[in-house]
Chains A and B, each alone.
Chain A
């Protein structure tokens, strides 16, 4: 049985103009380059990449925080990206929400947390004072905070608790889809586990779908149904979770997995992948990863590989995996 996806993204592109020095030609930075994926009801797509991979820009375009340069975003059957009908975003706005990375900066320090959580309700309007306050207490309880702490200010909470407040606020309007932009990256390891488990519980209770953005593969493993890996603006590999971790195909995914420090003393650490992340203004020709790739061959330096299905829902953008390519050794 196939169900229509609640989110469908096709050929999404975002470029930013870059102001050069006087007299120099205008240049553009290609932050997101032909990204496409779907999110099904009740599932979590993990979107993983390092700085400049375009993961956050993609997340922001999905909820309309920034507009796409080209491409389509379809949410619950409504097109919202470039060239969409006016007001299309408003039809779906209450059904999608965003959780930010840094709960320190995304909460107004002078607003009581109860009011911060109720703000979406106040904007939507139509609730009595009593119903509104009951809903705030219910939301606090839902995210594992004391029902009575709505009178307090953000600074009275720890980082993990502030992230719970951010999640409560996102849940206020009973959304169906939440973009979580590195929600645990600024937290201690022990707090990360608490927040990931909370998001899993909420998903089960409320039937939520998530796009979960992270910068390393370890964090998304527990929460994701499928994982997409981004590099320099494009998706280089996408697969059901089990396949991605058991048999990563793209050399970058392999490098990213190898780079995660493991809590196993004495383990022979695989050598780090050399080089730095590429410039997005002047990206390498061909495959963006080729200057760092240990398996790069001539074709990689001239032709950009496209994301193509290889087997059972596993897709990879790498010439090595096309007919005639030299496959990299399995990790």
Chain B
């Protein structure tokens, strides 16, 4: 079965300028998103998950970023070779984004109305009155009660969950084909997190958009994503359909992440941990970048950089020993 991807990231390497020269933040990252699909990207802080997502719209500071290699294909064009001007038409149009902290993403001195109306006028050329009507409709779509009154409020008058709903309303204003959600529920209370995930799923069905959801929480991944990319130290280390990832994780790091999630059922023994810390970007680790923290590391893992190998249907893993031990299906 072949699917025509909506977006495909091919062998993307992104570097940042640091105090001591250029460091590689993500290396050789490839993935695809089908139309209407939910892709989850999971990893610890410093894994490169947000760098990958922000790179899609080239949102890194221009002076200190180098898109060293690769391509990002969307609708037959390469986003990396577009001019700033062309790209601006894509941002907030066909590809929209929401962030972790809605308070710092909303402009505190503009009302909700002013912030939703802007993309509508910019991308869809609506008149002021039509844009306002559409803005109220959008607030109703994200289930903000009393939208006609709320629209003239300033962000500080809204709760955290409400602000994230406004961010989502702005993001879906132009019926994007792809929504990139970078830790959209991390800053929210647990009961509000559930509401926002439900809302995203409903909107996705209504609009038919694809979603890239970035999170460090495998619980959120399990509930939301169809396919999952696991990242570690700037590389994709495993990629699989969500059920396969949880049933048969093929990388020891994925195992560790799944085991570290606190459980609400079952025995109350100690939490399983992954020892150590994620390495600094500038640290050079020969062989597999995970080997210093891996319980299963062998000599080869300390020597040879592992390749991302197929280990099952639509399932890739960057752990050759495990792949050899029976990954092939």
Contacts and interface: CB of A to CB of B under 8 A. Distances in A.
Given A262-B219, A272-B198, A188 B45 contact: yes
B285 interface: no
B243 A265 contact: yes
A261 B193 contact: yes
Contact of B162 (A257, A271, A276): A276
B260 A259 contact: no
Contact of B264 (A190, A218, A277): A218
Contact of A188 (B198, B216, B220, B268): B216
Interface string A256-292: 1111111111110101111011000000000000000
A96 interface: no
A263 B258 CA distance: 7
A108 interface: no
B264 A217 contact: yes
A260 B219 contact: yes
Contacts of B263: 218, 221
B270 to A, nearest CB: 6
Interface residues of B, number: 44
Given A222-B262, A261-B217, A216 B190 contact: yes
Measured as residues with beta carbon below 8 angstroms from the partner, the interface class of chain A is: 35 or more
9 contacts: A51-B160, A159-B45, A189-B217, A196-B262, A197-B273, A218-B219, A218-B261, A261-B217, A265-B242
A20 to B, nearest CB: 15
Nearest to B193: A259
B104 interface: no
A248 to B, nearest CB: 11
B271 A193 contact: yes
A158 B192 CA distance: 29
Interface in A174-229: 188-194, 196-197, 200, 215-219, 221-222
A245 interface: yes
A261 B222 contact: yes
B179 to A, nearest CB: 19
A160 interface: yes
Contact of B246 (A51, A192, A218, A265): A265
Contacts of B35: none
Contacts of B161: 276
Interface in B94-152: none
A161 B242 CA distance: 31
Interface string A89-127: 000000000000000000000000000000000000000
Interface of A: 50-51, 158-161, 188-194, 196-197, 200, 215-219, 221-222, 241, 245, 255-267, 269, 271-274, 276-277
A194 B293 CA distance: 13
Interface string B148-175: 0000000000011110000000000000
A264 B222 contact: yes
Contacts of B246: 263-265
A50 B271 CA distance: 23
B243 to A, nearest CB: 5
Contact of A272 (B159, B191, B257): B191
B201 to A, nearest CB: 10
Contacts of B78: none
A257 B190 CA distance: 9
